[in-house]
Amino acid sequence: MTDLTTTYLGLNLKNPLVASASPISKNIDKARKLEEAGISAIVMYSLFEEQIIHESLELDHYLTRGTDSFAEAMTYLPDGGMYSVGPERYLNQVAGLKKALSIPVIGSLNGVSKGGWTNYAKQIQDAGADALELNLYYIPTDLDLTAQELENAQVELVAQVKSAISIPLAVKLSPYITALPNFARRIVEAGANGLVLFNRFYQPDFNLEELEIEYNLDLSTSADLRLPLRWISILHGKVNADFALTSGVHTSNDVLKSMMAGAKVSMIASELLWGGSLQRVEEILSHTQMWMNEHEYTSIKQMQGSMSQKSVKEPAAFERANYMKVLNSFRDSI
């Protein structure tokens, strides 16, 4: 019998397919059905630093100051929406999921600065979370902020959050880092037990009829797998952390590739949000096991890292040489 079990952040999982942070975790019944379909763990939707600060009213003056000074500046924080929930409701949801599910529940904090809001890491732990995912989502727009200053601040934030909890900590990174391997190592040295690659930045669009900014949620496709696949392949065996691959996981092939790159788990969200999530989970796991049987793999652990940079015959394929080969192959096809 093919063994699909894996470990992630010290948690023993029945298979590598994890539901990543999404609105699905707001609904306990849907989360329970995902577990029944075979999902091995679920990551909560994110609790944002801004939500905590706004709720506490400690910075209310600064959040509202100037909002009436010109017509377009109605507010500095979004109104309503799926993620507009207070910290107390979030903690109650963690506790509710833990009570309803037997699979691990991973809390999620989204923030960029040190401060009192990080105390909620401990409160998420106390609510029953088995681990915590810290989502480092930040768009630098300050011309005076250097890359080194930003990285230092994020490393310090990871250390602060880690010092507040005893459960495992994963850090979700952006791909837009100049020297990603060094930054990844620093994050792990600061206390991260795992790295989630990558955060997807949702880009604004222009509405040409209304002359307004539009905010659209574009779900991923399997083509988005390549970026995290490449970097996990490069970092596997070099950085002492458990890797989770997110963005682009839609099929059993995506799961298999993630494992071969060196990931411990494949995180899925967009495919679940398309609809028919229960059937898709069952299909993906079934086809993963079928492929492993056909290719004589006895376990997930056997294939993890088998196609990483340190394991393949041509490690340069993950580096600059790959760029030249792709261009040459295109020219040769014309």
Q: Which residue has the tokens 């940079």?
A: 309
DSSP 8-state secondary structure symbol assigned to residue 253: H
CA–CA gap between residue 198 and residue 162 (Å, rounded) = 20
Q: Is the dihedral of CA 184, 147, 190, 42 positive or negative?
A: negative
Q: Residue 246 has which token pair?
A: 């997110």
CA–CA gap between residue 332 and residue 308 (Å, rounded) = 28
pLDDT higher than threshold 90 for residue 114: no
**Contact in structure between 268 and 244 (CB atoms under 8 Å):** no
Angle in degrees, 0-180, between the axes of helices 277-294 and 28-37, rounded to the nearest 10: 20
CA–CA gap between residue 242 and residue 245 (Å, rounded) = 10
| H runs (alpha helix) in 11-146 | 28-37, 49-56, 60-64, 87-100, 119-126
Average pLDDT, the chain: 87
**What are the pLDDT digits (tens) for 121-175?**
999 999 999 999 999 988 888 999 999 999 999 999 999 999 999 999 999 999 9
Query: Please, which residues bridge with residue 195 across strands?
Result: 171, 243
C-alpha dist (Å) from residue 135 to 114, 172, 296 = 13, 5, 37
Q: Residue 300 has which token pair?
A: 């997930």
Rounded CA Rg of the chain: 21
Report residue 255: phi and psi, to 5°.
Answer: -65, -45
pLDDT higher than threshold 50 for residue 71: no
**Contact in structure between 106 and 129 (CB atoms under 8 Å):** yes
CA–CA gap between residue 302 and residue 246 (Å, rounded) = 21
Mean pLDDT confidence for 35-56: 89
Pairing verdict, β 242-246 and 41-43 = unpaired
Number of residues in the chain: 334
What pLDDT band is residue 275 in, cutting at 50, 70 and 90? low
Tally of CB atoms within 10 A around 322: 13
Type of residue found at 319: E
C-alpha dist (Å) from residue 12 to 7, 40, 219 = 5, 9, 29
Q: Which residue has the tokens 């009192």?
A: 116
What pLDDT band is residue 316 in, cutting at 50, 70 and 90? confident
55-59, 144-148, 188-192, 285-289 — which is least confidently predicted? 55-59
**What are the pLDDT digits (tens) for 82-112?**
444 579 999 999 999 999 999 999 999 998 8
Pairing verdict, β 242-246 and 265-268 = parallel
Q: Residue 149 has which token pair?
A: 């200053």
End-to-end, the C-alpha distance of the chain in Å comes to 47
**Contact in structure between 269 and 19 (CB atoms under 8 Å):** yes
**Contact in structure between 229 and 245 (CB atoms under 8 Å):** yes
Domains and CATH numbers, the chain: 6-332 (3.20.20.70)
**Contact in structure between 42 and 18 (CB atoms under 8 Å):** yes
**What are the pLDDT digits (tens) for 215-243?**
887 888 999 999 999 999 999 999 999 99
